[in-house]
Amino acid sequence: MQVSQRRRDGCTECRRKKVKCDLLKPVCTRCQRYPKGCIYNLSVVGQGVEPRPARQQLSASGTGVAVGRQDQLSILQSLEALANQPSLHFSPALSSEQSRFFMHIFATETAPRLFPAAPDLFLQRMISASLQTPHLLYALLAAACSHHSRLVQDASPSSKIACLKFTNLAISSLRSTISESSRRLPTETVATAMALCTNDVCNGNMHVWRTHLSGVRQLLNAFLAQERSRWVQDSYIHSLVKWFTTLNLIASLSGQSHTSFTSEAAQEPLNELLGQSSGYIDEVCGYSLELVPCLTQVSHLIHQQRMTGSTANDMPQDALILQQSELLENELFLLLDSTVSDITMKSKGELALELEHTHRAFVHTALLHLHRRVQKLPISHPKVRADIAGIIRAIQDIRPFSAANILILWPVFSAGCEIDTSSERCIIQGRMANMQSLGMGNFTRARELLNLFWASGTALQWDAFFAQLGLELVLF
C-alpha cells in the first residue's frame, strides 16, 4: 500500500492537524475563519549562519484575503532552491533575523503584488541578484517592510524605522556603487533605482518620487548606451525596460505635470521591443506594447491642449490637436482585441485571461482621457459614457480579489472620477478596497483622493482639481 506523504510547505496549522494545505497566501482556505493561526515558514541560510531547526524558522502571517497560490509559489520556490545551494554565499545583510523575515515577505507577498503576472524568470533573477548586491537587497527589503506594515496594519514607530533604515541603506549603497564604478553599470543598479522609485509611489512619498524617477531615467539611459549589444537578447533587461516604461508613462498621465518620456538612448530598446512584438499583451505591463506609443501620444496631446489653453485661444493649434486626437482614436479602437500569447496562457492560466481584460481597461481609459482631457467632451457625451462602460465591464470581468486588479489602478481611478451613480461608484470603491487590503499603498492614497474629489462636488476635471489643491498622485 502506498503511503501518502504530507506536504512540508503548508501552514503551521494545517501541518499541526496533519491535513493538506492549499497554500493560499496570506491565509489558506482552512484558516480563513481564524487567520492569525495561518503561518508559513521559510528557512534562509545566511553567510556564516548555521541552519536553524525547523521550530525556529522565520514565520510570516497576515490577515488579508486569499488569492491564487500559483502566482506566489514560484518565487518562494525559487528562493528556497537558492537557499538549498551550499555553494551560494548569501549577503551578510541577510544574517539578521529581521532581514531574513522581510526577504521571506518579499518572496511570498510583495513580489507577487508588485508584479502579479511577470515572467517567473524576471523575479527569480532579481531575487538571485539581490543576494549578491547589497543596494538591491536593501531596496527589496524596504519594499517588503513597508508592504508588510500595510498588510498587517502596523503603523508603529518601529515599523517605520525599519523601513527607513532599509531605504537609507539602499540609497547610500547605491550612491557608493555609482561613484566607485569606473567602467560599466551593472543591471542591478538600474533595478535598485526602479525598486526605490516604486516604493516611493506605494508609500505615498510624492516629494521624492520624481527625483528617483529622474535618477532611474539617467541610469537607464547610461546603462542602455553601454549595453547596446546585450539588451536585444536579454529578457531580464527587456522586463526592466518595460518596468520603467510603465512607471514613466503612467506618471505622465497621472495629473497636470508633464514628464518627458525618455531619451533616444532609452527609446531605442523600447522600439526594438515594439518591433519584436506580435501584438500580444505583455505580462509586465498588463497591456500590449503596441499601446505604448498611443499612450505616449495621449500624454503629449493632453500637455499640448493644456499649454494652448493657458496661453491663448489658438484656433489653428486646437484644430491640429483635434485632428491628431481623432486619428489616435481610430488606432486605439484597433487595439481592443489584443490577446495573450499561448505561452502566457499555459503559464498563467486564469490570470492570463484576465490580462486581456486589463488591456481592454487601458485602451478604454486612453480613449476616456482623449475624449475628456484632449477633445474636452462633456461627461454626458455618448463617447465618454461608452468609455466608462468599457472600463467598468473590463473591471467586472476580473475576479474581485485577483492580482490582475493591481495592474489597473490608472483605469479604475480614471473611471471613478467620471461617474456619479452610486452603483458604479460602489464597483470602483470595492476594487480599490480589495487591493488596499492586500497592502497596496498606492490604492490607499488613490482611494482617499477619489473620495475627496467626490465629496467636493467640483465641476473641475480631476487633474485640475488636484492641481488646484497642490495634491499629486501617480496611478501606478
Q: What is the pLDDT of residues 351-371, one digit of tens each?
A: 999 999 999 999 999 999 999
Please tell me whether residues 434 and 358 are part of one structural domain: yes
- pLDDT of 183 strictly over 70: no
| Among the ranges given (12-21, 168-177, 250-259, 295-304), the one the predictor scored with the smallest mean pLDDT | 250-259
Please tell me whether residues 392 and 424 are part of one structural domain: yes
Which among 207, 225, 257 is the end of a domain?
257
Q: Which residue has the higher pLDDT, 228 or 262?
A: 228
* Backbone phi and psi for residue 426, each to the nearest 5 degrees, phi listed first: -65, -40
Please tell me whether residues 284 and 433 are part of one structural domain: yes
Q: Which residue has the higher pLDDT, 324 or 316?
A: 324
Residue 403 within a domain: yes
The pLDDT of residue 89 is 46
Alpha-carbon span 276 to 445, nearest angstrom? 36
- pLDDT of 55 strictly over 50: no
Alpha-carbon span 337 to 339, nearest angstrom? 6
Largest CA distance in the chain: 86
For 460, the grid coordinates are 473641475
Please tell me whether residues 163 and 242 are part of one structural domain: yes
- pLDDT of 3 strictly over 90: no
- Across the range 84-109, mean pLDDT stands at 74
Contact 149, 163 (CB under 8 A): yes
Q: Which residue has the higher pLDDT, 99 or 5?
A: 99
Residue 344 within a domain: yes
Kindly list the distances between the CA atom of residue 71 and the CA atoms of 65, 76, 103, 122, in Å, as whole numbers in the listed order.
14, 10, 17, 13
Confidence of residue 182 (pLDDT cuts 50, 70, 90): low
- Across the range 295-306, mean pLDDT stands at 89
Which among 196, 222, 257 is the end of a domain?
257
Confidence of residue 232 (pLDDT cuts 50, 70, 90): low
Contact 107, 76 (CB under 8 A): yes
The pLDDT of residue 427 is 95
Residue 48 within a domain: no
- pLDDT of 260 strictly over 80: no
Name the nearest CA neighbour of 187 among 212, 148, 219, 146.
Answer: 219
Please tell me whether residues 141 and 213 are part of one structural domain: yes
- pLDDT of 72 strictly over 50: no
Residue 34 within a domain: yes
The pLDDT of residue 387 is 98
Confidence of residue 285 (pLDDT cuts 50, 70, 90): very high
Please tell me whether residues 304 and 369 are part of one structural domain: yes
- Across the range 146-161, mean pLDDT stands at 91
| Among the ranges given (212-216, 271-275, 281-285, 328-332), the one the predictor scored with the smallest mean pLDDT | 271-275
Domain span holding position 412: 278-438
Residues in the chain: 476
The pLDDT of residue 180 is 75
Please tell me whether residues 314 and 354 are part of one structural domain: yes
The pLDDT of residue 298 is 93
What 322-325 contacts at long range (C-beta under 8 Å, 24+ apart), as own/partner pairs, is 322/374, 322/375, 324/297, 325/301, 325/370, 325/374, 325/375
Residue 450 within a domain: no
Please tell me whether residues 156 and 186 are part of one structural domain: yes
Alpha-carbon span 75 to 123, nearest angstrom? 7
Confidence of residue 94 (pLDDT cuts 50, 70, 90): confident
| Burial degree of 254 (CB within 10 A; 0-12, 13-18, 19+) | buried
Contact 15, 32 (CB under 8 A): no
Name the nearest CA neighbour of 144 among 112, 187, 118, 117.
Answer: 112
Please tell me whether residues 222 and 328 are part of one structural domain: no
| Burial degree of 299 (CB within 10 A; 0-12, 13-18, 19+) | buried
Which among 257, 286, 316 is the end of a domain?
257
The pLDDT of residue 406 is 95
Tell me the pLDDT of the chain averaged across its residues: 80
pLDDT digits (tens, 9 = 90+) for 411-463: 999 999 999 899 999 999 999 999 999 999 999 999 999 999 999 999 998 98
The pLDDT of residue 167 is 93
Q: Which residue has the higher pLDDT, 57 or 287?
A: 287
For 3, the grid coordinates are 503511503
- pLDDT of 51 strictly over 50: no
Angle of helix 315-334 relative to helix 350-369, nearest 10 degrees? 160
Confidence of residue 251 (pLDDT cuts 50, 70, 90): confident
- Across the range 230-249, mean pLDDT stands at 83
Q: Angle 219-185-292 (CA atoms, 0-180°, nearest 5)?
A: 40
Burial 331-358 (b: 16+ CB within 10 A, else e): ebeebeebbbeeebbebbeebbbbbbbb
Please tell me whether residues 236 and 377 are part of one structural domain: no
Residue 167 within a domain: yes
Residue 458 within a domain: no
Q: What percent of the chain has pLDDT over 90?
A: 42
Please tell me whether residues 207 and 352 are part of one structural domain: no
Contact 252, 476 (CB under 8 A): no
- Give the list of residues 6+ apart from residue 372 with CB closer than 8 angstroms, or none: 379, 384, 418, 461
How many domains is the chain partitioned into structurally?
3
Residue 72 within a domain: no
Please tell me whether residues 203 and 236 are part of one structural domain: yes
